[in-house]
Amino acid sequence: QIINNLIPVSSELENDHFKSWVRIAYYMNAVANGQEKASVAMIKILENIKRFDKESHDKKLYVGAN
C-alpha cells in the first residue's frame, strides 16, 4: 500500500532519492507486518532519511537553496 502511494512522488525523484524512498517504505511495511524488529527497522529508516536529505542538499533540492 505505501509503495503504491509513493509512485507519483517517486517518479519525480533522483536515483538516490528513489532508492531511499523505497527502502524507507520497505522497512515501514516490514514493521507493520511484523517481518522486522522495530529497533532494527528504525535504524534503517533513519539511515535512509539521512541519505535522502544528503541527496537533497547535494542537488540543492530544498527550500531556500537558490
What is the phi-psi region of residue 34: left when phi exceeds 0, alpha when psi lies from -120 to 50, beta otherwise?
A: left
Residue 3 in domain:
no
Residue 26 in domain:
yes
Output the pTM of the full model.
0.74
pLDDT at res. 3: 61
Number of neighbours of residue 4 by Cβ within 10 angstroms:
8
Residue 65 in domain:
no
Contact criterion met (CB below 8 Å) for 27 and 51: no
Please state the rounded mean pLDDT for residues 53-64.
Answer: 83
pLDDT digits (tens, 9 = 90+) for 10-57: 666 778 888 898 899 899 999 999 999 999 999 999 999 999 889 888
Residue 19 is part of which domain span? 15-59
Contact criterion met (CB below 8 Å) for 51 and 12: no
Residue 66 in domain:
no
What is the total count of domains within the chain?
1
Residue 49 in domain:
yes
C-alpha–C-alpha distance, residues 19 and 1, integer Å: 17
Grid cell, residue 27, equals: 522497512
